[in-house]
Amino acid sequence: MAEPASRPHPRTQLDDNFASPIRFSLMAALGDGMELDFATLRDVLQCGDSPLSKAITHLQAADYVFARKANVGGRSRTWVRSTKTGRDAFAAHLQALREIVALGGGQAL
């Protein structure tokens, strides 16, 4: 009979806000304090406008990113940056992934 674990499995620390590959990749692309425009993010993430827009809206509702809009040359543009809350949550999510890998005997991320 297996002995009960002294602490919860690290998977319980995974953040569902990063369950979508686009949302996960978006946070990774923004890095620490980096701000990118919508078109650049779309190109970097290799996704369409609609999935990217939905990912930004989701992460903005979680207070993980901040999006600002401005007119440039008569066209509306959007820039996105991660918030401290978002960067902290993403770092915790990555740490949980590392711990899961370590439990499985794999190499750390």
Q: What is the chain's pLDDT, residue by residue, as a tens digit (109 residues)?
A: 565 658 899 999 999 999 999 999 999 999 887 999 999 999 999 999 999 999 999 999 999 999 999 888 888 899 999 999 999 999 999 999 999 999 887 655 5
Torsion angle in degrees (nearest 10) through CA of 93, 29, 78, 89? 10
CATH 1.10.10.10 fits 14-100, yes or no: yes
- Burial (CB count within 10 angstroms: exposed 0-12, middle 13-18, buried 19+), residue 36: buried
Q: Residue length, the chain?
A: 109
The tokens of 53 are what?
């827009």
Cα distance between residue 9 and residue 99, in whole Å: 9
Single pTM value for the model: 0.86
